[in-house]
Every structure is written in structure tokens, then in C-alpha cells.
């Protein structure tokens, strides 16, 4: 997949450009259907499949409260690449960009820069200043300017609307099974392993890999999770505590993960953690012994959950696995 992060990098319009555009936060099942359709239509017409998105998310710029994102930009790029898209255009979003009218965006960007012949958007998509470029506007533009427009209807899974906002609510509630059904994969946190307070292995007997989290980002419900850990192309089972570790009175938000059947120095190395099930909330224990006993119980339950999910083929443990 070819990636452009500046419209000026595009030297000439693409051949038979088939385009979809959106924020694509989470790259959920609805987004994946958009990509599948664009890729199929482009191949049928010997054209170029193109996804257009923005960085940062427009609401990060326009809303005082911002937005808590499901996926980071690197995750989004990775997931869109898996969909088979030929070209990804990431447009820097600024307040100046927000003043661009829908007409200007169609003429200067979609037609002028990309050479768009075909456009696929979701049922609720709108572009341009004041979001005035809705699907009715786009259809009208297509008739006037000679490009086709297809609008994808809302997608439902088990009678639940697949949407980024709904997924954010489910993540915050710790409902990871429901999140997986709407994403089409497990919800994942990732980062480089950081030095912690060295309590896990030395005091508790359960060494942990620590990823520090920002409260400005989307944070899963605090507590203990059954997890699938991806490190260096291999998958491992694990149990993670996301929170502030109230037993020790910590103040940093951290995901502490005990990785099963694992013994390696991974400080500073990248780690991906899939959250499978929320087991319990955070508890302030009377001391280290009580906490250690509870961790043993958590590990026992987690191993059973992992075995069950492996039987259902929802997780696997083998080399060179996709995360």
C-alpha cells in the first residue's frame, strides 16, 4: 500500500481512482465492508483503490473535549493495509482545513488531486465546512461532475449498530466480547514495555510487563483482564491489570501484564495486548499476601478462558501470527 501524508506529494491523478473517505476510527466491520467494496470495484475496472482519512481526527481539533480514539494512526494504517487498499491518503487536519467547503474539497482534492471516478461512503458521512457535504450533496455532485457515488447502508451485528461511538462505549464498559463482534477482532492496546516498580516478580512472584496509558486516550474499564499477548511474532496467554494498583497507592495509569510461560528481557520492546475478557474490577487488598493469592486465582481462571477461546479458534498460539 502506498501512503501519502501530504496532498502535494501526489504528482498526478491516479488511474481510474475508486475512493472511499472517512475517519475510520477502529477500522470496524462497517469500515471493512467499505474497503472491500472499493477494492472490488477498482479491480473490476482495472483502477486504483484509494482510502482518504485525516490525522488528527477532526474532533481532536474542533471539539474542546476532543475524542478518545479506538485506534492510533499506526494501527489504522496497519488495518487499512490489510484490507487490500492500493493507496492511503492521510490529510493533515487543521482549523484551516476545517474551513474548506464541500464543493472545494470535491473539486480540488477528490477530482483535482486524486482523479476520482467512483466514490463509496458510509450512510452517515458528511464532508466540508459545517458538514454540508452529505450523501445527497455527493450524489448531486456526481451527477453534475461525472463520477459515480455508492452509499453503504448501516451495518448491524446481532441487531447492534456497528459504529465507532458504540465501540467506545463498550470498551469503556469492559464488554470485550461485544467489542470483538463489532470490530471483527479483539480490542488491542500496544506500546513499548516500560520500567515499573519491580514489585511483580520480586515481591509478588509474578513478573509483569508494563505499558503506561494516557487518560486522554480511550481507556478500557479498569480491572483485571484475560489477555492474549503478541511479542516478536509469537502469541502468549496472559492476565493484565489496567488501573492504578490501589493496593500500593500508585497514581499512574498502567497496564501490568503477567505473560504465561514466558521469560525474556523485553524492556523497551514493543508489545501488543488483546483484551479478551474483563474478570473483575480493581480491589485494594490488605497486603501483598492477599494480592498474591488473588493473582493466582486470576491466572487459573484466565488459563481456562484462554483454553476455551483456543478451542473456538478465536485465538491461536503459533509463530508469525498476525496481531
Write out the catalytic residue numbers. Answer: 256
Task: Check if the beta carbon of residue 187 is closer than 8 Å to that of residue 219.
Answer: no
Q: Which of 22, 77, 19, 81 is nearest to 50 (CA)?
A: 19
Going by their DSSP bridges, the two strands 48-55 and 2-4 should be labelled as: unpaired
Question: HEC profile for the chain?
Answer: CEEECCHHHCCCCCCCEEEEECCCCCCCHHHHHHHHHHHHHHHHCCCEEEEEEEECCHHHHHCCCCCCCCCCHHHHHHHHHHCCCCEEEEEECCHHHHCCCHHHHHHHHHHHHCCEEEEEEECCCCECHHHCECHHHHHHHHHHHCCEEEEECCCEECCEECCHHHHHHHHHCCCHHHHHHHHCCCEEEEEECECCCCHHHHHHCCCCEEEECCCCCCCCCCEEEEEEEEECCEEEEEEEEEECCCCCCCCCCEEEEEECCCCCCCCCCEEEEEEEEEEECCCCCCCHHHHHHHHHHHHHHHHHHHHHHHHCCCCCCCCCCCC
Three cell numbers, residue 151: 452509499
Identify the residue whose cell numbers are 463489532.
182
Identify the residue whose cell numbers are 450524489.
139
Amino acid at each position: 500500500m502506498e501512503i501519502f501524508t501530504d496532498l502535494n506529494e501526489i504528482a498526478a491523478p491516479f488511474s481510474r481512482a475508486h475512493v472511499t473517505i472517512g475517519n475510520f476510527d477502529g477500522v470496524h466491520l462497517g469500515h471493512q465492508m467499505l474497503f472491500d467494496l472499493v477494492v472490488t470495484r477498482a479491480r473490476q475496472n482495472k483502477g486504483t483503490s484509494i482510502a482518504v482519512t485525516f490525522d488528527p481526527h477532526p474532533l481532536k481539533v474542533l471539539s474542546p473535549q476532543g475524542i478518545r480514539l479506538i485506534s492510533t494512526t499506526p494501527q489504522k494504517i496497519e488495518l487499512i493495509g490489510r484490507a487490500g487498499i492500493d493507496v492511503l491518503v492521510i490529510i493533515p487536519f487543521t482549523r484551516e482545513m476545517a474551513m474548506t467547503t464541500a464543493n472545494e474539497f470535491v473539486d480540488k482534492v477528490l477530482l483535482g488531486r486524486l482523479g476520482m471516478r467512483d466514490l463509496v461512503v458510509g450512510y452517515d458521512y458528511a464532508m466540508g465546512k459545517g458538514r454540508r457535504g452529505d450523501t445527497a450533496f455527493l450524489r448531486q455532485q456526481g451527477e453534475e461532475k461525472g463520477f459515480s457515488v455508492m452509499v453503504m447502508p448501516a451495518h448491524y451485528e446481532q441487531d447492534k449498530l456497528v459504529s465507532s461511538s458504540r465501540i467506545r462505549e463498550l470498551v469503556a464498559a469492559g464488554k470485550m466480547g461485544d467489542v470483538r463482534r463489532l470490530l471483527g477482532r479483539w480490542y488491542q492496546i500496544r506500546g513499548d514495555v516500560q520500567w515499573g516498580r519491580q514489585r511483580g516478580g520480586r515481591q509478588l512472584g509474578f513478573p509483569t510487563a508494563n505499558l503506561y496509558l494516557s487518560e486522554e486516550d480511550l481507556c478500557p474499564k479498569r480491572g483485571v483482564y484475560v489477555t492474549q499477548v503478541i511479542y516478536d511474532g509469537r502469541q502468549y496467554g496472559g492476565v493484565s491489570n489496567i488501573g492504578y494498583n490501589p493496593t500500593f497507592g500508585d497514581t499512574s495509569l498502567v497496564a501490568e501484564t503477567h505473560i504465561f510461560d514466558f521469560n525474556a528481557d523485553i524492556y523497551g520492546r514493543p508489545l501488543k495486548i488483546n483484551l479478551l475478557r474483563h474478570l473483575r474490577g480493581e480491589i485494594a487488598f490488605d497486603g501483598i499476601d492477599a494480592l498474591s493469592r488473588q493473582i493466582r486465582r486470576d491466572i487459573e481462571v484466565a488459563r481456562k478462558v484462554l483454553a476455551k477461546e483456543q478451542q473456538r479458534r478465536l485465538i491461536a498460539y503459533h509463530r508469525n501470527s498476525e496481531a
